[in-house]
Amino acid sequence: MNKKKILVVGELNIDLILNNIQGFPEIGSEKIADKMDFTLGSSSAILATNIAALGVSTSFCGLLGKDSFGKFILKELHTKNVDTRFVQLSEINKTGITVVMNYDQDRANVTYCGAMNELSIEHVPWNNLTEFDHLHFSNYFLQPGIQNDIVELFKKSKEAGISTSLDLQVDPEDEWKFNYQECLPFVDVFLPNEKELLRLSRRNSLEEAINHIKQFTNILALKLGDQGGRVIHESEDIALKPYLNNKYVDAIGAGDSFNAGFLKKYLDGASLTECLDYANLTGSLSTTAAGGTGAFAKNENIEGKLNKIRKKEF
């Protein structure tokens, strides 16, 4: 069987992660963080590197600044076996960075978007699209250059004969202006979390949100955090509990790792139950190391770690 190939289109940035912070930030005061990590960030890049670690041939399309952060990200992508021939350099903006302030299982983020603002549909390698089996796009609201063409992105991908997936992520302005009625029919796998689905649908309960959105979706793969996950497709409605572990560090990238696991199995042709189960496993694994990619650093150990989590030995 030929190895499946995915093209990830989206944002690239650095994550500066602060843990064990002594209090909440206040204007005119200074707080101390006892731990700091500097890692590859961004929803798109975390998914790309982790699904590559799971054995899917992965290429990335995005923008970086001509700076040391950009060089760091390119090196990290290369190290993690992600093809960067479609990553371009901005002439006008710096590489993006997110400062992540962790508080238990929640966090506050401040992001400088930089080059990710520029990414447009023109940067997508349309002439190479038939090389791939799947296209994934993440973080719609942080990439204004592509927002007006989001429907065209997925429509053209489907016309090229490849499957598609989308993870919207959070809208910092909390306006949720996304034409899901027109876009989602061209998305094979839609991957929101509970809060995102509620805000997007403007419904008050999860069941109301699902019943509204599912009329526009193909596969709705819903991330429910410490409640696990749920998949809705036609007559199927599958809910699975999470895999908890004893080595929790942080939840950064856990949702993106869930996506990576789900899409890995989806591209393998697995059942939706298998896709969701594996997604819960990879999401759990992600929380055992700092940042979104640390737990996936050694390819040869990943399946062993996942088996230990499944058996509650990790």
* pLDDT tens profile 286-313: 999 988 898 998 666 899 999 999 988 8
Q: Please say whether the dihedral angle defined by the alpha carbons of residues 190, 146, 257 and 48, taken in this order, is positive or negative.
A: positive
Per-residue pLDDT, 88: 97
pLDDT digits 0-9 by tens, 148-179: 999 999 999 999 999 999 999 999 999 999 99
Residues 6 or more apart whose Cβ sits within 8 Å of residue 263: 6, 47, 51, 56, 134, 136, 165, 189
* Rg (the chain; Cα; Å): 18
What is the predicted pLDDT for the residue at 300? 62
At 225-264, the pLDDT tens digits run: 989 999 999 999 999 999 999 898 888 899 999 999 999 9
Cα distance between residue 269 and residue 253, in whole Å: 24
Nearest to 194, CA basis, from 249, 150, 244, 258:
258
User: What phi and psi, each to the nearest 5 degrees, are found at residue 27?
Assistant: -60, 130
Pairing of strands 219-223, 189-190: parallel
Q: Name the amino acid, one letter, at 68.
A: S
Q: What are phi and psi of 24, to 5 degrees?
A: -95, 145
Whole-number pLDDT of residue 290: 84
Torsion sign, CA atoms 176, 181, 187, 192: positive
Specify the pTM: 0.93
- The mean pLDDT value for 25-49 works out to 92
Q: What is the pLDDT of residues 171-212, one digit of tens each?
A: 999 999 999 999 999 999 999 999 999 999 999 999 999 999
- Predicted local confidence at residue 217, as pLDDT: 98
| Mean pLDDT of the 125-140 span | 97
Domain ranges of the chain: 5-310
For residues 3 and 11, what is the distance between their CA atoms, to the nearest angstrom?
A: 25
What is residue 107's predicted lDDT score, i.e. its pLDDT?
Answer: 80
Task: Give the pLDDT of residue 298.
Answer: 66
* Residue-averaged pLDDT of the chain: 94
What average pLDDT score do residues 103-123 get?
90
5-310 placed in CATH 3.20.170.30: no
pLDDT of residue 72: 96
- The closest of 245, 213, 252 to 232, measured between CA atoms, is 213
| SS3 (DSSP) at 28 | coil
Q: What pLDDT, in 10s, does the model give residues 60-85?
A: 999 999 999 999 999 999 999 999 99
At 240 the pLDDT is 97
State mean pLDDT over 1-13.
Answer: 90
Which strand ranges, in their side-by-side order, compose the sheet holding 229-233? 82-89, 57-64, 5-9, 134-138, 163-167, 189-190, 219-223, 229-233, 236-240
Q: Does pLDDT of 143 surpass 90? A: yes
Residue 2 is predicted with a pLDDT of: 66
